[in-house]
């Protein structure tokens, strides 16, 4: 219930934050290829990775892709 309320508030306010990260060229190519093979965006891969890190450290996976409707 609280998650749904937070999601509604985020959508209503357009609340999303950007992250700029830099990777080496080989890493970029590998990530782009993986995204292409899976049929997803790099942003979707990043969201998945962020949630994996949160889970690894015992936190709730709370990162959502703001680019999805």
Using pLDDT thresholds of 50, 70 and 90, give the confidence band for residue 13: low
| Residue pLDDT, tens place only, 22-64 | 999 999 999 999 999 999 999 999 999 999 999 999 999 999 9
Q: Which domain holds residue 61?
A: 32-69
Residue 9 domain flag: no
Residue 10 domain flag: no
User: 31 — phi, psi (to 5°)?
Assistant: -65, -40
* 8 pLDDT more than 90: no
pTM confidence score? 0.75
Per the structure, how many domains does the chain have? 1
Residue 12 domain flag: no
* 12 pLDDT more than 80: no
Give the residue with greater pLDDT, 6 vs 44.
Answer: 44
Residue 42 domain flag: yes
Q: What angle do CA 18, 38, 64 make, to 5 degrees?
A: 30
Residue 60 domain flag: yes
């Amino acid at each position: 219930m609280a998650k749904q309320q937070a999601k509604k508030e985020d959508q209503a306010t357009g609340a999303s934050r950007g992250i700029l990260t830099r990777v080496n060229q080989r890493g970029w190519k590998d990530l782009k290829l993986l995204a292409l093979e899976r049929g997803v965006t790099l942003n979707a891969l990043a969201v998945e990775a962020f949630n994996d890190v949160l889970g690894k450290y015992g936190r709730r996976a709370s990162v959502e892709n703001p680019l999805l409707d």
